[in-house]
Amino acid sequence: MGLVEDTPRPRRGLSDLMSRWQTDLISRPGFQAWAARFPLTRGLVRRDGERLFDLVAGFVYSQTLFACVQLELFEDLAAAPKAPLTLALARGLTEQRMTALCQSAAALGLIKRRRDGRYALARLGAALIGVPGLIEMVRHHDILYRDMADPVALLRDEVETELAGFWPYVLGQTQAAPEDGVVQQYSRLMAQSQAMVAQETLQTVSFAKAQVVMDVGGGTGAFLRHVQVAYPKLKTILFDLPDVVTGAEGMEAIGGSFLDPLPRAADTITLIRVLYDHTDETVDHLLRNVFDALPAGGRIVISEPMSGGAHPARATDGYFSFYTMAMRTGRVRSHSEIAEKLERVGFADAQIAKTGRPYVTSVVMAEKA
Ligand SMILES: C[S@@+](CC[C@H](N)C(=O)[O-])C[C@H]1O[C@@H](n2cnc3c(N)ncnc32)[C@H](O)[C@@H]1O
């Protein structure tokens, strides 16, 4: 634990010159052709080539996964290995097209090809079924892919993104009732994908000294259900928008907006996958409300995917930052950015706790002195 510095230090002088020389050299086609033949650089050039190819092809790989999910291929193969013709007939595809999809999925390690020509589930495909909420996560990605069809327009803020409609609260639509089913749709997706986030958070943070935990923006209570299993004697309170908490059963729940003063009812407040949905202004406002609601000695626990800051990370800087951009208001923040925000509203000694799976979530916590 400890603060990670992510303010860039200016790199000048010799290291800039070296870096410029290296870039000029590597980007010359003649050097690339020579390095691909030279025994000491051949392996490196091949690996770089493969990585670049994967980046160019990445969207097609993602769409292969999407097609497998849409066609429920993994569930089918989990029951028994099957021949392409059998799989094709059940899905209205030709055998040739089904084989193309199976070959692609097998190349990606999702399924495997048997000697007899049938296909079976591979470890990755089996894990995909086993990880709660992952299939649903993949399924809702068609929206993100459409929003990212013109990434430059997205960066210029020229796209009316569909993801903003999937998460209606991000544009401040917290008072008017959203369209039928919208709240249920996002709440279901969050609840299904909560298991891994809760596992990581509970492995990283101890709630043993807490008396009452209030989960703000807690959806339909999936995180608190995990907390209750780990700490059966702990009192828990769920706080979310009124339309959302109506979907929570079997727990104390309060409906309201976290932009209004929060109930002073808990000594520990958790914010799980909440901050990255919102602008800095909203986040600062929310953190101030949490600070005001906690007693002296109370604790705030923030758990969500965080930017790698000085060490950019694929899952968060590469993926979640664009996801939150398509949501319109959100942003992936680094541990130290969040820690600074906490200290600015009055929290003391913000602690960064690295989790085992930072692509799932990371944790920052602090105390009210
Ligand atoms: C990305 S979801 C995360 C849900 C849950 N914490 C989880 O990790 O599964 C964000 C949650 O914040 C809630 N939320 C958004 N704006 C809110 C507001 N102004 N007041 C209270 N809750 C809000 C949403 O309804 C939603 O349940």
Per-residue pLDDT, 160: 92
Give the mean pLDDT of 306-323: 96
> Looking at ligand 1, which residue's alpha carbon is closest to its atom 14?
217
* Confidence at residue 216, expressed as pLDDT on a 0 to 100 scale: 98
Across 44-48, 305-309, 345-349, least confident range: 44-48
Instruction: Read off the pLDDT of residues 224-249 as tens digits, 9 standing for 90 and up.
Output: 999 999 999 999 999 999 999 998 88
> pLDDT digit string (tens) for 144-168?
999 999 999 999 999 999 998 888 7
Average pLDDT over residues 355-361: 93
Q: Mutation test of ligand 1: which of 167, 169, 223, 329 has the most ligand atoms closer than 8 Å to its C-beta?
A: 169
Distance CA 30, CA 49 (A): 15
Of all protein residues, the one whose alpha carbon is nearest to atom 13 of ligand 1 is: 217
Is the pLDDT assigned to residue 36 strictly greater than 50?
A: yes
Using the mean position of ligand 1's atoms as its centre, give its distance from the Cα of residue 257 in Å: 10
Of the two residues 31 and 287, the one the predictor is more confident about is 287
Domain boundaries, given as residue ranges, for the chain: 30-130, 141-367
Sorting pLDDT into bands at 50, 70 and 90, what band is 6? Answer: low
pLDDT at 322 over 80: yes
Strand 119-121 to 111-113 pairing: antiparallel
Q: Is the pLDDT of residue 73 over 80?
A: yes
Q: What percent of the chain has a predicted confidence (pLDDT) above 90?
A: 72
pLDDT digits (tens, 9 = 90+) for 198-229: 999 999 999 999 999 999 999 999 999 999 99
Residue 86 pLDDT > 80 = yes
Domain 141-367 part of CATH 2.40.30.10: no
The protein residue with its alpha carbon nearest to ligand 1, atom 18, reads 257
What CATH number matches the domain at 30-130, 3.40.50.150, 3.30.43.10, 3.90.1170.50, 1.10.10.10?
Answer: 1.10.10.10
Q: How confident is the model at residue 342 (pLDDT cuts 50, 70, 90)?
A: very high
Helix (H, G, I), strand (E, B) or coil at 213: strand
Q: 365 C-alpha to center of ligand 1: Å?
A: 19
* Ligand 1 centroid from CA 202, angstroms: 19
**198 C-alpha to ligand 1 centroid (Å):** 15
- pLDDT at site 300: 98
Which residue in 63, 70, 124 sits closest to 93, CA to CA?
Answer: 70
Could you tell me which residue, 359 or 183, shows the higher pLDDT?
359
Report the mean per-residue pLDDT for the chain: 91
Interval 11-33 mean pLDDT: 79
Centre of ligand 1 from the C-alpha of residue 334, in Å: 20
Region of 335 please: left (phi>0), alpha (psi -120 to 50) or beta. Answer: alpha
In ligand 1, the atom with minimum distance to the C-alpha of 174 is 19
Do residues 216 and 300 lie in contact, with contact meaning Cβ atoms separated by under 8 Å?
A: no
CA of 351 to the centre of ligand 1 (A): 23
Q: What's the pLDDT tens digit per position in 160-197?
A: 999 988 887 776 654 445 566 677 777 788 888 899 99
- Judge if 30-130 and 141-367 fold alike in CATH terms: no
H or E element: which one contains 237? strand 235-240
DSSP for 102-160 reads HHHHHHTTSEEE-TTS-EEE-HHHHHHHHSTTHHHHHHTHHHHHHHTSSHHHHHTT---
Instruction: Look at residue 172 in the predicted model and tell me its pLDDT.
Output: 65
84 lines ligand 1 (CB under 6 A): no
> With pLDDT > 70 as the criterion, what percentage of the chain qualifies?
94
Span 134-142, average pLDDT: 91
- Asked whether 241 lines ligand 1 (CB < 6 A), one says yes
Where is pLDDT greater, at 32 or 71?
71
Q: How confident is the model at residue 260 (pLDDT cuts 50, 70, 90)?
A: very high
